[in-house]
Amino acid sequence: MNKHKHANSNDMGTLAQDARALMAATADVAGEKIGEARERLASALEHGKEIAGRARNKAIEGVKAADEAVHEHPYQAIAIGVGVGALLGFLFARRRSGNDD
């Protein structure tokens, strides 16, 4: 999952770099439609940057809250982890045994 997140992050960075390069390449091109497109692209880049920042901040808050909860209640966290693991193991084993028929 970390590879997937890293790949998405790289893709978004590449997209932003390409958009900035396009804006720089068309800086000397005159025309009303090109100017409007450049403005929309600049606005979309800024909006995307804001959304990514908010998502990153919410993810960091969630991780901090989970870390704090685990540190405050370590035995409950272990019990929940074991319970979820046992439930998933049971479901996967049941599904697998159903496919063997």
Q: Tell me what the pLDDT averaged over the chain comes to.
A: 83
Q: Render pLDDT for 35-70 as a digit per residue (tens, 0 to 9).
A: 787 788 888 888 888 888 999 999 999 999 999 999
Domain ranges for the chain, please list them: 2-72
Assessment of whether the complete model's pTM goes beyond 0.85: no
Confidence band, pLDDT 50/70/90 cuts, at residue 3? low
Of residues 4 and 22, more confidently modeled: 22
What whole-number percentage of the chain has pLDDT above 70? Answer: 85
Q: What is the 3-state secondary structure (H, E, C) of the chain?
A: CHHHHHHHHHHHHHHHHHHHHHHHHCCCCCCHHHHHHHHHHHHHHHHHHHHHHHHHHHHHHHHHHHHHHHHHCHHHHHHHHHHHHHHHHHHHHHHHHHHCC
The pLDDT of residue 12 is above 80? no
